[in-house]
Structure 1
């Protein structure tokens, strides 16, 4: 998978957590209160606002916010584009040194680490129309510390032309049908492998969670106090994934070179994989004229007793405690959170809107591939909002690789993972 470049490597974020928890006093500081938030005035924004943003977002933001600057002629917004591979170090150093920007673009999975360095969201900024999972990622002890900017989820990309050749007119909705399609891609459409699935390495466990969630599994209890990683539901999902490798339908050791998944999808050698919305334009470009009519997206298949459920993530806009111009910063965040602005942002960079009402716009409904992501967003879960999750996830990656590449018994591996998670605790 596929967790887009937004997610930090587990070891990196764990190190960041250790530093920030020490520097910000997570164990000793009192939680922020709602009345600590900035009160927004009705006038236009003024002064200088600094914002750091990563990747494509950082590159596109300067041009995109010109309408905001035109509507607020006394404000100047300075955007710093930060590479994803150095963002973690840059933010943690800035927090420790009191040199943060006014606004930071924080991945939803970063929030537990950085929460104590952030200001509470002003009450005047309404997030009630946003996806619940997105606002959940910003909320600690009942206080929201950021505003969701965009969201992500994962669906199955599949070759519709080769599926028809293999005898499938529609994408399967259950596990049996999904595996049958993957097998038919090989038997009837000449594919080398029917589907690309994670077999180990960074975030492979997180990439597998949609199958576990679609089998009724949870990785924690509802209160996030107890890990539940060795249940029959998790084990059943791992057994199901493992069966693709055991039957030769998926490759245990796929090519990890950048662009290899796209190339295999375009040439039909591996006509199905799971990923996010950013791959839509990339596949159209790689496949050339007419290729957009040869592929579609399907929802995560469900087990016989489960419901299609995928992974969700995204990025939030947060204002740091050390912000020099917090009111103007929050006004920019508020502008970027408007449904019509989020639709324009999707058109600019293909980021999915966090505002649910934005999904009624023809810009998102006209393309069935994009609309498919909107449908999947109705049933998603996020990773645990805990500082120990990166360590648990990294341990899970190791165990999953030993199962899928080393034939380790799933029950044994998940039992060991449960013990590791119990020893790490929840960080609360």
Structure 2
């Protein structure tokens, strides 16, 4: 694939200039609301740059990795892409992401970027992506379902979480946990096992994956048992983002670990007094390890319109674009100035900001530095994870498969 990407990039560079008034923008974390908001920001950009046209291509998230890889392999490379954290190393490693250093050196809003945004957008000390916001997992809970099940207090530990899920699952047609067994479900396979294990370190010093360690196998078993014991809906083995969020706001299940972007659909369909957001439950070590993800804007290296592409990124990342974008997506802001906005002071965001302020809650970044991680997250983890949930392979077999794949990737990385 690397050779294919590189060939495509060179072909695109030699294909000749594209009209200076035309840009192609690919959106990959797609929903109707997000796309409409993006169109509004782009319309402002086009108005500020007369004669410029921005073509927006929206790829459904469940198919985005494969579809974008196909586009790149065919030489159909955009100028700007919404870049998920799990893809950065793959495309940066293939030389397809432009170094944004020259532009950031002169941008008036560079100092407004949070330290986390600056650090996470770099590969080999070069900024190749500007995160627009952060997606930190916290725990949604349905107050009505917990009361009906006789759960008197919101769980603060995984043992309390399991006990509450059992009580809710005893109600006719209800389940405790909205499990994401389909696309995008890797977070659950990281957070709960790490919390059970009391450690979120993915590799030892020699580059060996910890997934097949005794502690992590115990955590994987704990997570699998949630499904096998009927504490998650039976069809949740195939659920993606839309299904788990719908499962929560329709009252099918009482708990949902999700990012702030889930607030969009939930707040539209549930009253504030019907749900809450609390910190991710802590494990035996007294710590919790919710994942923190991010996405942002990258410029593709083969673009023939780099200066114009930067203007678009600056519009999207600057206050005029970033603030309304994050208010719609619900992401925690990448701009320091946005944190004082009244929107983020609302009760709905309390759980996430409590996590950020709790030293025993350790936000966990997945090993996105590995070129092989995108395939692991979007393909291998889904297929083998589903087999484990369905009892077709044991937790030990799952752990061994994942550890073997990740160990090879990490040892390749550290040997370079």
Report TM bin, short chain.
0.7 to 0.9
Residue 400 of structure 2 corresponds to 415
Residue 248 of structure 2 corresponds to 265
Matched, 1:84 2:60: yes
Once residues 388 and 322 of structure 1 are traced to their aligned partners in structure 2, the CA distance between those partners, rounded to angstroms, is 22
Once the two structures are superposed, the pairs formed by residues 183-332 of structure 1 within 5 Å of their partners are: 183-187=166-170, 192-198=174-180, 200-214=181-195, 215-218=197-200, 220-221=202-203, 225-254=207-236, 256=238, 261-262=244-245, 264-287=247-270, 291-332=271-312
TM-superposed CA distance for 1:325, in Å, is: 2.8
8 Å CA contact 1:225, 1:426 repeated in 2: yes
Residue from 99, 108, 129 that aligns with 1:120: 99
1:127–1:238 CA distance, 2 compared to 1 (3 A):
farther
Question: How many matched pairs?
Answer: 385
What TM-score results when the alignment is normalised by the length of structure 1? Answer: 0.76
1:281–1:88 CA distance, 2 compared to 1 (3 A):
closer
Residue 6 of structure 1 corresponds to none
Unaligned runs of 5+ in 2: 11-19
Residue 363 of structure 2 corresponds to 380
Residue from 60, 63, 87 that aligns with 1:110: 87
TM-superposed CA distance for 1:21, in Å, is: 5.2
8 Å CA contact 2:137, 2:290 repeated in 1: yes
User: SS where residue 117 of structure 1 aligns?
Assistant: coil
TM-superposed CA distance for 1:77, in Å, is: 4.8
User: SS where residue 310 of structure 1 aligns?
Assistant: coil
What TM-score results when the alignment is normalised by the length of structure 2? Answer: 0.77
Residue 13 of structure 2 corresponds to none
8 Å CA contact 2:179, 2:239 repeated in 1: no
8 Å CA contact 1:191, 1:271 repeated in 2: no
Residue 401 of structure 1 corresponds to 386
8 Å CA contact 1:175, 1:301 repeated in 2: yes
Once residues 240 and 255 of structure 1 are traced to their aligned partners in structure 2, the CA distance between those partners, rounded to angstroms, is 16
Aligned alpha-carbon RMSD (Å): 3.5
Once residues 223 and 356 of structure 1 are traced to their aligned partners in structure 2, the CA distance between those partners, rounded to angstroms, is 35
User: SS where residue 387 of structure 1 aligns?
Assistant: coil
User: SS where residue 211 of structure 1 aligns?
Assistant: helix
Residues 129-149 of structure 1 show CA distances to partners (whole Å, capped at 9, x for unaligned) of: 3362x5444322211112112
Once residues 341 and 327 of structure 1 are traced to their aligned partners in structure 2, the CA distance between those partners, rounded to angstroms, is 18
Shifted more, 157-166 versus 216-225: the winner is: 216-225
Residue 14 of structure 2 corresponds to none
Unaligned runs of 5+ in 1: 1-14, 26-45
Once residues 210 and 339 of structure 2 are traced to their aligned partners in structure 1, the CA distance between those partners, rounded to angstroms, is 34
Once residues 410 and 336 of structure 1 are traced to their aligned partners in structure 2, the CA distance between those partners, rounded to angstroms, is 43
Residues 389-418 of structure 1 show CA distances to partners (whole Å, capped at 9, x for unaligned) of: 244444444444344321754334323432
Residue 51 of structure 1 corresponds to 25
Once residues 255 and 404 of structure 1 are traced to their aligned partners in structure 2, the CA distance between those partners, rounded to angstroms, is 7
1:390–1:414 CA distance, 2 compared to 1 (3 A):
same
